[in-house]
Amino acid sequence: MPRELTQNRIQKIWIPSKDDKPAVPRRAGGPYFTNSPTVIVMVGLPARGKTYISKKLTRYLNWTGVPTKVFNVGEYRREAVKQYSSYDFFRPDNQEAMKIRKQCALSALTDVKSYLLEEGGQVAVFDATNTTRDRREMILNFGKENGFKVFFIESVCEDPNVVATNIMEVKVSCPDYKDCNKTDAMEDFLKRIECYRASYQPLDPDNYDRDISFIKVIDVGRRFLVNRIQDYIQSKIVYYLMNIHVQPRTIYLCRHGESEHNVLGQIGGDSGLSSRGKKFSGALSRFMEEQNLKNLKVWTSQLKRTIQTAETLSMPYEQWKALNEIDAGICEEMTYEQIKERYPEEFALRDQDKYYYRYPTGESYQDLVQRLEPVIMELERQENVLVICHQAVMRCLLAYFLDKSADEMPYLKCPLHTVLKLTPVAYGCKVESIYLNVEAVNTHRERPEQDVKRGPSTLMRRNSVTPLASPEPTKKPRIKSLDDHMASTSTSLSGFAASDISTAGQPLLGKACLT
Amino acid sequence: MRGCGQSWGRDRAVCMTNCPTLIVTVGLPARGKTYISKKLTRYLNWIGVPTKEFNVGQYRRRCVKIYKSFEFFSPDNEEGLKIRKQCASTALNDVQQYLSSEGGQVAVFDATNTTRERRNVIIKFADQNGYKVFFVESICEDPDVINANIVQVKLGSPDYADCNTDEAVEDFMKRIKCYENSYETLDEVLDKDLSYIKVMDVGQRYLVNRVMDHIQSRIVYYLMNIHITPRSIYLCRHGESDLNIKGKIGGDSGLSERGKKFARHLGDFIHEQNIKDLKVWTSQMKRTIQTAEALGVPYEQWKALNEIDAGVCEEMSYEEIQEHYPLEFALRDQDKYRYRYPKGESYEDLVQRLEPVIMELERQENVLVICHQAVMRCLLAYFLDKSAEELPYLKCPLHTVLKLTPVAYGCKVESISLKVEAVNTHRERPENVTVNRSREEALQTVPSHL
């Protein structure tokens, strides 16, 4: 007998009604798949962009709904060895240091295991040099013992300019060098790199490493070698890595000028600009001219108000249907007051969980993220771009660039007539907010008071890592000795109890795509 | 699609003129170059990038009516070399015609192109015409794969129409040998400034060099996701729904009694087929999920598989649409592929929405997709290489499963009716599509319903 279906009230997803938690976003269907979690392992000499890639990839995967976390072994080392003295620590003949460094790696792997098996993680990025076969062998075994897939990302670069730039951007200002001047820091770091060079065994696709899954990124993306992609997530990672670049550029995000619906407090629809909205378009045009950019691309949605705004710029622009505002379904063109009156339950449900909530016959923020993924991918490929879009859409895009969680995303402030200028810097994104001095209504609704019943469990949330702050330190006790550590890593694969852990945030489909 | 050059909703002719792209295959015979060429062409056309392949072997067959033996390809056969060079030239002329005068965006130049000299000729040609060049090299030394290729596609080629299998295989192997000595693979140093992808051992490994733009990036992604492992894709619609019976479109109704019966029959069918590791996908609409529930196996819900959004016409019958929106109704009949319902979608939008589904279908093996009429038409058009004009009129009746199996360069289709009655929801294009047509003319082809 086929099971009866009910529609989950927040996501409007049909699920068999025997489930006792209809409000929890989850995959539909029978037994839950245990998708093998994936460990991404960085490989490469220092200053080759491993941490840059780790953080960016993590941000991207989290935004698309794949719970991902970076484990940077350098940070574990800084915890263990409070004060960095010099590159001598990294000399291959420094036995004491070697011991500490190995412990740190093992400690990080323990945390990886915990994250993937007990904390709902799907992907862990193990960020370290991992330049020797021995070290990689150890990680492969670790993966095998725990049922994790392993995917290596090696960054190879011998352009001295690139290496020097990296060192200046992120190394001289790192905690290790807080008491040094730039020149000394640079000099020490270059010697640090040399310590690794003699023992560096690059991935060898023709022989030794022909059976493992990896991508070699050569010369900052000029060339790639891809070996044995196993599954969907590895394929997406490869595609992403092939589309990102490090050319300096700026992304401008703004909404259309104030629209007639905005003035009336109506959501959605396809109205034209108000007179203040038109004034904003003029101001935007002058602003962009002042920015004096070579080669600016301008993108709009296919709704009238963004196109009208772009028209004033007198430059070519591209229309993307994917940039259209969130579809409010039956609530289209209503004011919030009207919605509250006519659909009080829907109104309340939305405040309960604004990210997962789908308007009846409409969309949710989660749907928006899925829709916007090709836009993000193309933004990564491009250089200077101005995106003229809408409130919910802009929140989603901003959340990607600023690494905001699903929880925060629907409440990010994106006021009318304000341009956000995003510039990549170090490991993150600098944001400048520029109000163009044309009055407009405020369309921002704050998160309601905390007495509103919270929706799905925190397992649904993605990690929130603010770009330039240090990642949350792991709370695990420091491991005193290697022996203690070996004793504590008796592995038993704790069954991946999937009942609450759903990757409902998958843009494309439920979990199976991760197999 | 072979529409008006309007690609995928994104590139507007009003803004920039995109350089056309010339994709050039490289590799010994029987390495899958034509397979890749045809598949890539089909994919690019489906997503709205006008693409055409130019197979030099076909030019050669037109020129040299009868194929005698591998000796034609011998490196010291001067006459043969002359003809082959001429054929390549003719093909390049046609490429130029297609890209510069016929609105083509991508041309796939399918030949061995195994020498640097030949490739330089092509690069020069492209430079002169302002085309970007992207090489796709296929390298494979696995004798099993090569043999399988020969059996699948070479034996049936016109060249070997009068040979038996053994003779054909023997000759073809000698043909391959003719190319081997002069084969210059794309080189890390010598070709470092070219844009290319090397596909090794049928996708085990890839080397990608200097991807220049969006289209090249999409091509690389596509090539990295396709495979040649034998498998079948089953497409069907949900069982007959309550709205179907009333002749209404869209909505989110449940299955009728006959629809439920179909679901049960589908379950039986799936079990009988005994398919290894079958994945089942549905949309997020009740009727497909109800259908899947009857199968008793795990399934995945994709919002991307939802039926086309009919906007203001949701849950109306065609009669009601004619009554309330006669103009829209006529416009739709004029260009059913591009027509977007007010506040709704077009088939063109659907294709964009379904692209990730197609990509994942390429990655997967055996899959059953339970979807909807317009969605199924889009997916079917991809597999069967149907144009934008044909797509919205493909027949996808209720209670019928289409089994697609890749074979040679294309797809075999088997249509299996599961013998449960259902309404017909297929509306042919009426004769009169003008906006001032009568109600009768508009409703001429509406199938009967309650």
Q: β-strands B300-301, A318-319: how paired?
A: unpaired
Q: Does B63 touch chain A (CB under 8 A)?
A: no
Residues 6+ apart with CB under 8 A from A263: A274, A441
Residues 143-172, chain B, touching A (beta carbon < 8 A): none
Q: Does B366 touch chain A (CB under 8 A)?
A: no
Total-model pTM: 0.89
Nearest to A203 by CA among A215, A220, A192: A215
Per-residue pLDDT tens over the stretch B424-450: 999 999 999 999 999 999 999 999 988
Residues of chain B neighbouring A30 (CB-CB closer than 8 A): 296-299
| Lowest-confidence segment of A364-378, A409-423, B147-161 by average pLDDT | B147-161
CA triple A441-A447-A450, angle to 5 deg: 150
Cα separation of A171 and A47, whole Å? 8
At residue A426 the predicted structure's pLDDT band, cuts being 50, 70 and 90, is confident
Q: Does A30 touch chain B (CB under 8 A)?
A: yes
pLDDT the model gives residue A456: 46
User: Residue A223 is nearest to which of B208, B214, B314, comparing CB atoms?
Assistant: B208
pLDDT the model gives residue A452: 52
pLDDT the model gives residue A410: 97
pLDDT the model gives residue B162: 86
To the question of whether residue B237 is assigned a binding role by annotation, the answer is yes
**Phi/psi of residue B273, nearest 5 degrees:** -65, -20
Cα separation of B423 and B426, whole Å? 9
Percentage of residues of chain B with pLDDT beyond 70 = 96
At residue A460 the predicted structure's pLDDT band, cuts being 50, 70 and 90, is very low
Listed in sequence order, the DSSP H helices in A231-312 are: 232-243, 260-264, 275-291, 304-311
Q: Which of B238, B265, B372, B399 is catalytic?
A: B238
Nearest to A474 by CA among A40, A38, A119, A178: A119
Q: Does B348 touch chain A (CB under 8 A)?
A: no
CA triple A27-A31-A33, angle to 5 deg: 70
Using DSSP, state whether B89 is helix, strand or coil.
helix
Inter-chain residue contact B352 with A205, CB threshold 8 Å:
no
Q: How far is CA B281 from CA B292, B301, B369, in A?
A: 8, 6, 5
Closest residue in chain B to residue A375, using alpha carbons only: B10
pLDDT the model gives residue B3: 26
Per-residue pLDDT tens over the stretch B100-118: 999 999 999 999 999 999 9
pLDDT the model gives residue B368: 98
Residue that the structure tokens 């004491």 belong to: A96
Cα separation of A467 and B290, whole Å? 44
Nearest to A122 by CA among A240, A239, A249, A37: A37
Are B346 and B340 in contact by the 8 Å Cβ rule? The answer is: yes
| Lowest-confidence segment of A29-43, A159-173, A184-198, A462-476 by average pLDDT | A462-476
Using DSSP, state whether B81 is helix, strand or coil.
helix
Smallest CA–CA separation between B213 and chain A, in Å? Answer: 8
Smallest CA–CA separation between B198 and chain A, in Å? Answer: 9
Residues 362-421, chain A, touching B (beta carbon < 8 A): 367, 370, 378, 381
- Give the mean model confidence (pLDDT) for residues B405-411: 91
Q: Does B141 touch chain A (CB under 8 A)?
A: no
Inter-chain residue contact A320 with B15, CB threshold 8 Å:
no
User: Residue A509 is nearest to which of B263, B292, B300, comparing CB atoms?
Assistant: B300
At residue A450 the predicted structure's pLDDT band, cuts being 50, 70 and 90, is low
Per-residue pLDDT tens over the stretch A105-160: 999 999 999 999 999 999 999 999 999 999 999 999 999 999 999 999 999 999 99
pLDDT the model gives residue A172: 86
Tell which wins on pLDDT, A26 or B125.
Answer: B125
**Phi/psi of residue B377, nearest 5 degrees:** -60, -45
pLDDT the model gives residue A82: 85
To the question of whether residue B345 is assigned a binding role by annotation, the answer is no
Cα separation of B211 and A218, whole Å? 13
- Which positions of A are annotated as active-site residues? 256, 325
Using DSSP, state whether A490 is helix, strand or coil.
coil
Query: What is the average pLDDT score of chain A?
Result: 85
**Phi/psi of residue A41, nearest 5 degrees:** -115, 120
Inter-chain residue contact A509 with B207, CB threshold 8 Å:
no
Count of other CB atoms within 10 angstroms of residue A478: 11
Catalytic status, residue B372: no
Beta-bridge partner residues of B403:
B234, B414
State the distance between the two ends of chain A, measured CA to CA, in whole angstroms.
29
Residues 171-210, chain A, touching B (beta carbon < 8 A): 205
* Residues annotated in a binding site of A for substrate: 255-262, 305
Residues of chain B neighbouring A10 (CB-CB closer than 8 A): none
Q: Does A321 touch chain B (CB under 8 A)?
A: yes
To the question of whether residue B210 is assigned a binding role by annotation, the answer is no
Q: Is the dihedral of CA A118, A119, A121, A127 positive or negative?
A: negative
Inter-chain residue contact A31 with B298, CB threshold 8 Å:
yes
Cα separation of B255 and B241, whole Å? 4
User: Residue A29 is nearest to which of B16, B260, B298, comparing CB atoms?
Assistant: B298
Q: Which of B307, B345, B348, B355 is catalytic?
A: B307
Res. A454: pLDDT tops 60: no
pLDDT the model gives residue B155: 86
Q: Which helix (H) or strand (E) holds A376?
A: helix A365-381
- Give the mean model confidence (pLDDT) for residues A452-458: 46
Residues 204-263, chain B, touching A (beta carbon < 8 A): 204-211, 213-214, 217, 220-221, 224-225, 252, 254, 260, 263
Q: Does A7 touch chain B (CB under 8 A)?
A: yes
Inter-chain residue contact B301 with A512, CB threshold 8 Å:
no
Q: Does A222 touch chain B (CB under 8 A)?
A: yes
Q: Does B284 touch chain A (CB under 8 A)?
A: yes
Tell which wins on pLDDT, B274 or A459.
Answer: B274
Inter-chain residue contact A243 with B217, CB threshold 8 Å:
yes
Smallest CA–CA separation between B288 and chain A, in Å? Answer: 10
The residue type found at A146 is N
Res. B83: pLDDT tops 60: yes
Res. A471: pLDDT tops 50: no
Beta-bridge partner residues of A425:
A428
Inter-chain residue contact A370 with B303, CB threshold 8 Å:
yes
Residues of chain A neighbouring B207 (CB-CB closer than 8 A): 223-226
Nearest to A76 by CA among A124, A122, A111: A111
Q: Does B117 touch chain A (CB under 8 A)?
A: no
Catalytic status, residue B449: no
Listed in sequence order, the DSSP H helices in B150-256 are: 165-180, 214-225, 242-245
Helix B214-225, helix B33-46: angle, nearest 10: 120
Inter-chain residue contact B363 with A205, CB threshold 8 Å:
no
Smallest CA–CA separation between B66 and chain A, in Å? Answer: 42
Per-residue pLDDT tens over the stretch A352-406: 999 999 999 999 999 999 999 999 999 999 999 999 999 999 999 999 999 999 9
Inter-chain residue contact A318 with B210, CB threshold 8 Å:
no
Inter-chain residue contact A235 with B281, CB threshold 8 Å:
no
To the question of whether residue B240 is assigned a binding role by annotation, the answer is yes
- Give the mean model confidence (pLDDT) for residues A478-503: 35
Res. B140: pLDDT tops 50: yes
Residues of chain A neighbouring B293 (CB-CB closer than 8 A): 2-3, 5, 16
pLDDT the model gives residue B2: 26
Res. A475: pLDDT tops 90: no
Res. B239: pLDDT tops 60: yes
Res. A496: pLDDT tops 70: no
At residue A487 the predicted structure's pLDDT band, cuts being 50, 70 and 90, is very low
Tell which wins on pLDDT, A25 or B206.
Answer: B206
Residues of chain A neighbouring B360 (CB-CB closer than 8 A): 232, 508-509, 513
Count of other CB atoms within 10 angstroms of residue B128: 9
The secondary structure of residue B162, as a DSSP letter, is T
Residues 6+ apart with CB under 8 A from B34: B25, B55, B57, B110, B153, B409
Tell which wins on pLDDT, A23 or B172.
Answer: B172
A268: left (phi over 0), alpha (psi -120 to 50) or beta: left
pLDDT the model gives residue A505: 34
Residues 81-100, chain B, touching A (beta carbon < 8 A): none
Q: Which two tokens stand for residue B16?
A: 């920039």
Inter-chain residue contact A361 with B294, CB threshold 8 Å:
no
Nearest to B304 by CA among B222, B249, B240, B379: B379
Interface predicted TM-score (ipTM) over 0.95: no
Residues 6+ apart with CB under 8 A from A7: A13, A14, A15, B286
Q: Does A223 touch chain B (CB under 8 A)?
A: yes
Per-residue pLDDT tens over the stretch A248-275: 999 999 999 999 999 999 999 999 999 9
To the question of whether residue B214 is assigned a binding role by annotation, the answer is no
pLDDT the model gives residue B320: 97
Inter-chain residue contact A224 with B293, CB threshold 8 Å:
no
pLDDT the model gives residue A18: 65
